[in-house]
Amino acid sequence: MIFTETTLPGAYIIDLELRTDPRGFFARAFCQKEFEAHGLKPTIAQANVAFNHQKGTLRGMHFQFPPAAETKVVRCSRGAILDIIVDLRPESPTYLQHIAVELTEDNHRALYVPERFAHGYQVLRDRTETSYQVGEFYTPGSEGGLLYNDPRLKLSWPLPVTVISEKDAVWPILDAQEGDLKNRMSLQLV
């Protein structure tokens, strides 16, 4: 695997090292030792799959508060998505900054999302499937979210939003939840 750290410390793009032959290719998509060598948390508590019928569908922006904060390794196995993550670590010099990465069935790329980051994506092709390896169990009561079109975040989605869950459409704006968010994401509680 090829690990490339993004402008958000701890967040990595992971490209496969393809071993090709006449049959196609073989590549390692996860290796505990390689994750540890890059200072990444190699725990997989759950493996999830999301299928989306229609391009323009938006999922996010989701996170879990400590002590149930999640890492994620996100890969698009069919179709294409634009994946966006936002740094929610109050002590970070990149607090509230974001990156966007296109993950497709063709580029085989993955995104490693550190703990205390919000994560969401928009589907770029009909019938898209995305897999997540998550480092913590889903913990009801620990979940939170950011509004996908919050004016402070300035997230740029490439398509009009065609489908979004009711929950994702009504997360509070950052101004209304930032004090609580900073307090609950603080290292003192981790």
Helix (H, G, I), strand (E, B) or coil at 189: helix
Query: Is residue 189's pLDDT more than 80?
Result: no
Would residue 27 count as lying in a domain?
no
- Tell me the pTM: 0.94
Helix (H, G, I), strand (E, B) or coil at 56: coil
Residue 96 CB neighbour total at 10 angstroms: 19
Taking the alpha carbons at both ends of the chain, their separation in whole angstroms is: 30
pLDDT digits (tens, 9 = 90+) for 120-169: 999 999 999 999 999 999 999 999 999 999 999 999 999 999 999 999 99
Residue 176 sits in a domain whose CATH number is 2.60.120.10
Active site residues: 62, 132
Residue 102 pLDDT: 98
Structure tokens of 12?
């990595």
Would residue 137 count as lying in a domain?
yes
Would residue 12 count as lying in a domain?
no
Would residue 55 count as lying in a domain?
yes
Query: β-strand 19-21 against 72-78: which pairing, if any?
Result: unpaired
Would residue 179 count as lying in a domain?
yes
Query: Is residue 188's pLDDT more than 90?
Result: no
Would residue 131 count as lying in a domain?
yes
Residue 30 CB neighbour total at 10 angstroms: 14
pLDDT digits (tens, 9 = 90+) for 9-65: 999 999 999 999 999 999 999 999 999 999 999 999 999 999 999 999 999 999 999
Place of tokens 């019938």: 127
Domain housing 49: 44-184
Q: 97, 7 in Cβ contact below 8 A?
A: yes
CA atoms of 41 and 35, how far apart (whole Å) = 7
CA distances from 142 to 48, 52, 54, 62 (A): 18, 25, 29, 11
Would residue 14 count as lying in a domain?
no
* Cα angle value 121/155/123 (rounded, 5°): 25
Q: 65, 144 in Cβ contact below 8 A?
A: yes
Residue 100: band (very low, low, confident or very high) from pLDDT cuts 50, 70, 90 = very high
Q: For 35, list phi and psi in degrees, rounded to 5.
A: -60, -50
Would residue 13 count as lying in a domain?
no
Residue 187: band (very low, low, confident or very high) from pLDDT cuts 50, 70, 90 = confident
Domain count within the chain: 1
